[in-house]
Each structure stands twice: as structure tokens, then as C-alpha cells.
Amino acid sequence: MADKFDLVVIGAGPGGYEAAIEGVQKGMKVALVEKRELGGTCLNRGCIPTKTILHTAELYHELQSGPSIGLTAREPVVDMEMVQKRKDEVLEQLRKGIASLMKTNKISVYCGTGTILDREHVKVASAEEKSGEKAEEKAEEKAEEKAEGKAGGNSEEQSGGQKQDQVVLETSHILIATGSVPACPPIPGSSLPGVVTSDGLLDKKDMFEHLIIIGGGVIGMEFASVYSSLGHGVTVIEALDRILPTMDKEIAQNLKMIMKKRNVDIHTGAKVEEILQTEDGAGLICRYVEKDKPCEARADGILIAAGRRAYTGGLITDESSQEVKDMAMERGRIVTDEKYETSVPGIYAVGDVTGGIQLAHAATAQGRSAVAHMAGEDMVIRTDIVPSCVYTNPEIGCVGISADEAKARGMEAVTKKYIMSANGKSILSQQERGFIKVVADSGSHRILGAQMMCARATDMISQFAVAMANELTLEDMAKVIFPHPTFSEGILEAVR
Ligand SMILES: Cc1cc2nc3c(=O)[nH]c(=O)nc-3n(C[C@H](O)[C@H](O)[C@H](O)COP(=O)(O)OP(=O)(O)OC[C@H]3O[C@@H](n4cnc5c(N)ncnc54)[C@H](O)[C@@H]3O)c2cc1C
């Protein structure tokens, strides 16, 4: 029997590891259980690897217009092996950072699968207890081996921690932050070689010549941006009537136009029926129906980007108490109340495993809030105001409601819009495509939401989130001096 903890967190993604730190800051003794790598999907298979590759792709794309701004360089060449190597280095550096945070905060990190036995006990199978210090040593060893070019091995083999088949942790609170995995709709042929999810595409050492993307949501469109920026062929097939179906209609229409100019072939209202191998076995055929017409597209690779499903593998098993087995779930997602507590008192759940907004910063905010509730404090984070971003070119950032949503809710709202083609910084950096829209209550002028599609939109959208959390009006924002020349001056112009 291991030590008794105040909090055992299962899953070391952005929901879990940040909650673990929050627990320590609230005076709790905390254990963190992770069966793969520290950082979860976000760091290892999501936000960070995609944006690292996207960074190279965008620089490559920008260099194409070098001569028009007086910059002539030799023809740039993409070295995919080097792109992957750098991506791995970035991930390693950030994993090391998390391990170091665990050490500083004296969080006991257990490597293994966490199973909830009852309200007060979590079993860790193939458990390897690594104090924060050991977790950091392991991350350092891994970084050194990478630098020496050694093949990466099994994480447990590399650890200096004590190995045990299993250990049972006793605790007063449990936080489930087990995340999500790619959802794979039952499309015949989806297990053929060359058909991948985002996990597979991120690890691929080279690129497909032509990529078909099934799903025009955020993940699908970010990969479309990478592939098209690097000059590869892309076909997007989306079942709904537009790409980015959860975002502002004008943003979706604009992105479609921009992508089309980059030779991305986009089909909306198109339902994929099956995937086949070409006659010579060298390629893939994707058959779909678009406006009742049977169509097909050919490529050497297919990405299935049809959403993600909550992951609870190994979390609740035959060994779990009846109360835990009966935990309320809805279509595989764990149901919680507004304090992130599940139907089992003392067991909380946050992040992707609860469905809802599947974003890293939402998981983190929920994790911190859940811990505050465990400590009997009021929630201080506005978890209802979640900015969402798409890292295409131009970038997209949205928060709150759009004009269409305001109308659908019967709200009286005004919309202010500024076109970035008049913004100095946008013109000088050749990024004048785009706009900023602000939606405000028509009576009080209180800001209800904003939609931005322009350079640095993903960094600038937080200004509107701050305004919303503090119930600022258009006039309050217009009181502020914005530096010149910046993209952010577009915000001032929009609210004035
Ligand atoms: C390609 C891609 C790009 C993305 N880009 C962005 C982006 O730009 N911005 C953004 O905000 N979000 C992005 N996301 C979404 C983001 O990654 C997730 O919303 C976020 O990681 C969810 O955090 P989480 O803590 O809930 O779970 P996760 O990050 O999924 O972490 C869960 C962890 O729990 C572990 N685990 C599961 N079960 C057990 C168990 N029983 N015992 C022990 N450990 C367990 C898993 O191994 C995993 O490490 C992206 C996702 C993908 C796939």
C-alpha cells in the first residue's frame, strides 16, 4: 500500500497536470498517474506537434513571395526528416519542462494505467513510481538519447524509478483527466494502408503526394493548411454544408475561398461511402456522394479527421466498485455537474473526457476550477468564456457569440466590423486579407463576442476574452491606446 494522498489525478494532459499543480498550491498532497507521456494529447499528438510543423510550412509558403518584397533566396527545400526531428526536440523540451514542474511541486508521478477501485482508491497497473525528480531525470535521459541519435525505447525501461506490477493509492479526491482519442466512423476500407488519423499523420516521416481529408473541422483544415502550404495536393470532404461548421459563417466562407486559391479541392455536403485501393494497389480511392451524385477522389493518403471521442479505457473495470461502475456517462463521455464532480461524490472529471469544448486551455481551466471546488473555494475562472482558434493562414480566433447566434437567441445586438486591408502592419507584411468583427449588446454595448480572421488572430482574441470576463463595453475598449503599427490596431478600429 502506497502513501495516502489528498488528490490522485489520472491523466497528465493539460487538464490533469495543471490540476495537480493547483492541488499542491492549495496545500494538497498530490499523485499524478499517466500511462503514456507527460503532456497528454496536446503536447504529444495535438496542439504542439501540429503547430511546430505548421510553422515550417508557413515560412516555406511566405518565402514563395520573397522576390515581391525584395528578398531573393535559393529555392527553399523542405527536409521532412529535419522537420520531424525538430518537432521531436520541441516535444522533448516541453516534456522536460513539465517533469521539472512536477519535481518542484513535489508531485508523485506514477507511470501506468490508473483504474478507479472506489471513491478512495486508485490502482496503478505496471506501476512505476517516479518522484518528480525521477520524472525529470527520465525526460533528460530521453533528450540526451535523442541528441545522440539513439532510438527511443519503452519509457519504463528508461526510467530510474522503482517498477512494481501494481500499486494501490489511497486518496480523498480523484480527478479524471483521461482525454480523448481520434473517432473513426465505420467507413469500409478505413483500415487500409495509407489511411491514417492525426496521430499517424504527425508521426509520418515523409509526406503523401496528395492527401484526402475526411472532415473539414479544425483539425482537418489545419492539416489542409500544412499540406497546401508545402505545395502538396489536398482534397477535403465534409459531410455538413460548410467547413468549420461550428464557427462564424463568414469565416468559413472566407477560408474556403482562400483554400481554393491554394488549390485545395473542397467538397461540402458530401458523405464518404467507402475507401478502396486503386487497381495497381499503389493508391487509394475515396468514394463519396455529393448532392446525390456518386463521386470519387484519388490520393496516396487519407486522413480521417472526423472528431474525437472521450477515452475511458482501463479506467473503470470489473475490479471497480458498483458505485464507480454506475458513474453517469452519456455517449461515452463522463457527465459532471457545474463543479466538475461526477455522479460519484469525491470523483471529479475535466477536459476532453467530458466532451463539450475539446480544447487544451478549456481542460486546464476546468482542472483548476475542479481543484478549487475540492478545496471548498468558489470558482474564480470564467470557464464559460473559451476562445477557440484555428491555425490556418490567416489565423482564426473566436470567443463568445456571433451575430447569427445572437439573432438565433433573440438578442438585440450590434456588429462592428473592420477590414484589415486598411491596417498598416497588415499591408507592410503582405497579410491584408481578413477582418475583425465584434458583437455587442445593442443597448449597453457590452461585448458579447468577437470573430477575427487575420494575422495573429490567435494571440489577439484574448483581448476580447478579457473584455467579456470583465463585462467591458465597446466604449471601454476604445479608451485604450493601442501601439502603432500593430495588427491589434484593428481591434481599436473595430470597437470605435
Ligand atoms: C491534431 C490535434 C491538434 C490540436 N490542436 C489544438 C490546439 O491548437 N489548441 C487546443 O486548445 N487544443 C488542440 N487540440 C485538442 C487538445 O489536444 C485537447 O483538447 C487536450 O489535449 C485535452 O486535454 P486533456 O487533459 O483533457 O486530455 P489529453 O491531453 O488527451 O490527456 C489525457 C492523458 O490521459 C492519459 N490516460 C488516459 N487514460 C489513462 C489511464 N486510465 N491511466 C493513466 N493515464 C491515462 C493519456 O495517456 C493522456 O496522456 C488538438 C488535438 C489534436 C488531436
Distance between Cα 455 and ligand 1 center (Å): 26
The predicted-structure confidence for 322-344, as pLDDT tens digits, reads as follows 999 999 999 999 999 999 999 99
Distance between Cα 361 and ligand 1 center (Å): 11
Where does the pLDDT of residue 419 fall: very low under 50, low under 70, confident under 90, or very high at 90 and above?
A: very high
- Reference 336, options 324, 323, 357, 350; nearest CA is 350
Measured N-to-C along each axis, helices 47-63 and 80-104 cross at an angle, to the nearest 10 degrees, of 140
CA dihedral over 93, 95, 99, 102, signed as positive or negative? positive
Strands annotated E in 39-164 = 108-118, 121-130, 162-163
Query: To test the ligand 1 pocket, which listed residue (18, 42, 48, 167) has its Cβ within 8 A of the most ligand atoms?
Result: 42
Query: To test the ligand 1 pocket, which listed residue (178, 312, 334) has its Cβ within 8 A of the most ligand atoms?
Result: 178
Label the pairing between strands 121-130 and 108-118.
antiparallel
The predicted-structure confidence for 17-27, as pLDDT tens digits, reads as follows 999 999 999 99
Instruction: Indicate whether 67 pLDDT > 90.
Output: no
The predicted-structure confidence for 434-447, as pLDDT tens digits, reads as follows 999 999 999 999 99
Q: Which amino acid is at 233?
A: G
Q: Residue 435 and residue 494: Cα distance in Å, rounded?
A: 9
> Are 17 and 38 spatial neighbours (Cβ–Cβ below 8 Å)?
yes
CA dihedral over 270, 274, 279, 281, signed as positive or negative? positive
Residues with CB under 6 A from ligand 1: 10-16, 33-36, 40-42, 45-47, 50, 113-114, 177-180, 198, 219, 311, 314-315, 351-353, 358-361, 363
- Reference 14, options 139, 129, 177; nearest CA is 177
Where does the pLDDT of residue 163 fall: very low under 50, low under 70, confident under 90, or very high at 90 and above?
A: low
Tell if the pTM clears 0.75, that is, is over it: yes
Q: Residue 92 and residue 214: Cα distance in Å, rounded?
A: 30
> Are 323 and 307 spatial neighbours (Cβ–Cβ below 8 Å)?
no
Ligand 1 atom 37: residue of nearest CA: 178
